[in-house]
Amino acid sequence: MYLFLYLGDLSLTGSDFKKWGIEYLVNTIGTETEIRTRQRICKIKDDITNIIDLDISCVTSGSLAEGLDLQGSDLDVMQIFNMIDVIQNERDIKYEYERTTLITETDTGYPGFVKLRLIAQKGQESLYLKSNCFETASKGRYLSTARFIDNILNTGRHLTLFKHGTGVSNRQKTLDMVFCFRLNNLSFYATEWSSRPRKQWPSRILIEKIAKNECLVVPKGPYKVSDCNFFWRISTSLAEKLLVHSFTFPQILCYGLLKLTFQRIISTHTNVKDLLCSYFLKTAMFWVSEEVEIETFELSNLLHCFNLCFAKLISWVKRCYCPNYFIPKNNMFLGKINKGNNKALLGILESITIKRIEELIDYALQSYNGNCDPLGKHTERSFMMIDFLFYRLNKTQFVRDISKCNKVLEFIEFVQESEPSAYIKDVCKFYHAELSQNAAQLLPPVPATIKSCKIFELYHKHLENGTAKDAVSGRLLYASFYYVTGQYDQSLNIVDDILSKNTNDMIYLSCHEYDKNHIKQYKRNVNSVMKLNLNERMKKATKGYVWFLKHSPLIPKELQYLVENEDDSILPITLCHWLQCFCNFHLGDICKAEQALLNLRSKGEQEYLFYNTKIADDDQNQDVFV
């Protein structure tokens, strides 16, 4: 068989693939270093977030968490409710129920799905699991998927959420959240997975780790089932992420090529685009990886591996049966692909593999001629792309307790110390700076007359560390501290220095997405990216809005009304002019105070309009659970 692929504007036939194929894939998907860096960025964000909030765990999933940042990739987050227990067998419980507890009920007619029956409801009613989420049946009260999601939609006080698949999405459809519960171990449901015959992949160590690991239940029932609202799907996304992270670089490239094929070929056909999803291609990749020798996945053999995966997918479509990788009795095509609609899909799939692939095998590495290493170092472009991925993901939750905040700071310091990657060390430094800004606002207020005490030392320590976050927010928080402690000249020195620089060209952190103009702007500000590390680039070319916690001791008394009932943020330019006004007023310079007010009205409005058109409705930065 031959391979014929259309990827963007690049038509990959024999001679084209010989010249451009592997290089195109590496440029599109990334070098191995880039892919591992993306995986690590997501892992560290999850680890920090989950120390902060023990009731709800946030786990990134999907392509970004797997290390692939393809065009159109959104952020997928699993929100796991830890305050609800879900058990498999009631007889195994030897203690009185201390929390709301659900028990799973399996149905042999629907492998891979369970019902959740309420067996104990303890303590105060959860905001996210109210009594009206349950429906009564003959055997008891069952958690309804539809009612559960509707309650989540009504609970998202800071977000505009919409129902999307198994979960909810924000307005821009750049953030997908699935709300789910933990199950104790995967092996209870995937009984045959760990022991079935396979070649070298996955390793025995990884198999044992996954078998002992947890799985999740997500609010999605089987297609076209009358009581589907009672069914919850067993999700193996945690295990799948471990499997993808264990892929060799050729495996990742093959997986990326499969996703590109779906994204740029299959999904463009409107008559079949709803029949397949990229998850089916990942499933084919898993099955093929365990069925062949691991040495099969080599760069020089990439198209052959792709063809094996694609051939498996075609065979499934012909049979209208796609076996779940962990629970093979679960036909994932059920209710989607059948004998009545698979012909059109087969025609499209078979048109992608229409020539013999053997003639393309020898071409894989020849285009490099020793000048390009697919495992090579970051280029300037790749540095920037990873920077922008990090800027999209880097918002964390606030901590409300100083002891917990110190615990998180210690954890970040430990990770930073043990991390071999210089880039990830800088990622840790950013989170340390962000949490330091948080910690400074959890300290007790200090009278302005006392300038040398233990509390003041802690303020200075956290505020100084907080300046490493970006070019503006940490310094403005420091300026606000000087103002509330009566050190008006020091506050003005910081504000004047910030205003003397052109912050309009700086990009905001934590946006949903960044366009080509942002990238050009960023590159212009950092000049040669390769000469600066991540933190240096952030302090030179990025800005963040200044967050004040509820009842923060650092916010000027004139603005305390903003944080009477909740956290709030202030645009950098706005806070600059407010501080100018307040400080000059206390120093007796009324003219400068009035001028600051005029600047606030003009420049502040311009910045506000810019912010709201570019950053518009930044749902991603809001915490659903605060």
Q: What is the pLDDT of residue 451?
A: 62
**What type of residue is 406?**
N
| Sign of the torsion formed by the C-alpha atoms of 516, 522, 527 and 530 | negative
Q: What distance in Å separates the CA atoms of residue 48 and residue 37, rounded to the nearest whole number?
A: 17
φ/ψ of 143, rounded to 5, equals -75, 120
The two structure tokens encoding residue 573:
């330019």
Q: Please, what's the b/e burial string for 597-616 (b: 16 or more CB within 10 A of its CB; e: otherwise)?
A: bebbeebbeebeeebeeebe
**Measured CA distances, 68 to 39, 74, 234, 252, 256 (Å):** 8, 11, 24, 9, 7
41: nearest Cα among 305, 407, 394, 279: 394
Angle at CA 157, nearest 5°, toward 151 and 162? Answer: 60
Within 8 A by CB and 6+ apart from 102, the residues are 84, 85, 86, 87, 116, 117, 118, 119, 143, 181
Between the CA atoms of 287, 291, 292 and 294, what dihedral angle is there, to the nearest 10 degrees? 70
Q: What is the pLDDT of residues 322-332, one digit of tens each?
A: 999 999 999 99
Q: Determine the 3-state secondary structure of 447 from DSSP.
A: coil
Question: For residue 354, what pLDDT is reported?
Answer: 40
CA 83 – CA 55 distance, rounded (Å): 5
The pLDDT of residue 360 is: 33
- Cis (ω within 30 of 0) for the bond into 202? yes
Q: Which residues contact 515 (CB under 8 A, 6 or more apart)?
A: none
Query: Can you tell me the distance from the alpha carbon of 584 to that of 298, in angstroms, rounded to the nearest whole number?
Result: 68
CA atoms within 13 A on the CB side of 305: 30
Phi, psi angle pair for 403, to nearest 5°? -70, -40
User: Distance between CA atoms of 161 and 452, rounded to whole angstroms?
Assistant: 48
Give dist(CA 233, CA 221) in Å, integer: 6
In one letter, which amino acid is 223?
A: Y
Asked whether 586 and 488 are in contact (CB, 8 A), the reply is yes
**Cβ count near 377 (within 10 Å):** 11
Distance between start and end Cα atoms, the chain:
56
| Whole-number CA gyration radius for the chain | 27
User: What are the structure tokens assigned to 58, written together?
Assistant: 């946030």
Kindly tell me the number of DSSP H helices and DSSP E strands found in the chain.
Answer: 21, 18
DSSP 18: I
Q: Are strands 134-137 and 113-120 parallel, antiparallel or unpaired?
A: unpaired
d(CA 289, CA 198): 9
Helix then strand then coil, in percent of the chain rounded to 5, is 50, 15, 35
Bridge partners of 118? Answer: 102
| CA-CA-CA-CA torsion sign (167, 169, 173, 174) | negative
Instruction: Please state whether beta strands 140-143 and 167-170 pair in parallel, antiparallel, or not at all (unpaired).
Output: unpaired
Give the containing element (helix H, strand E) for 422.
Answer: helix 422-440
Q: Where are the alpha helices (DSSP H) in 324-379?
A: 342-352
Given this model, what pLDDT does residue 26 score?
Answer: 84
> Residue 480's Cα: distance from chain center in Å?
32
C-alpha 63, offset from chain centre: 9
CA distances from 393 to 41, 74, 541, 612 (A): 9, 11, 17, 19
Per-residue confidence (pLDDT) for residue 530, from 0 to 100: 66
pLDDT value, residue 55:
84
What CA–CA distance (Å, rounded) separates 500 from 529? 24
User: Phi and psi dihedrals of 208, rounded to 5?
Assistant: -65, -40
Residue 15: how many CA atoms within 13 Å on its side-chain side?
0
List the chain residues with pLDDT less than 70.
Answer: 1-21, 92-97, 123-124, 156-159, 165, 353-379, 447-452, 528-530, 603-626
With 0.75 as the threshold, say if the pTM is over it: yes
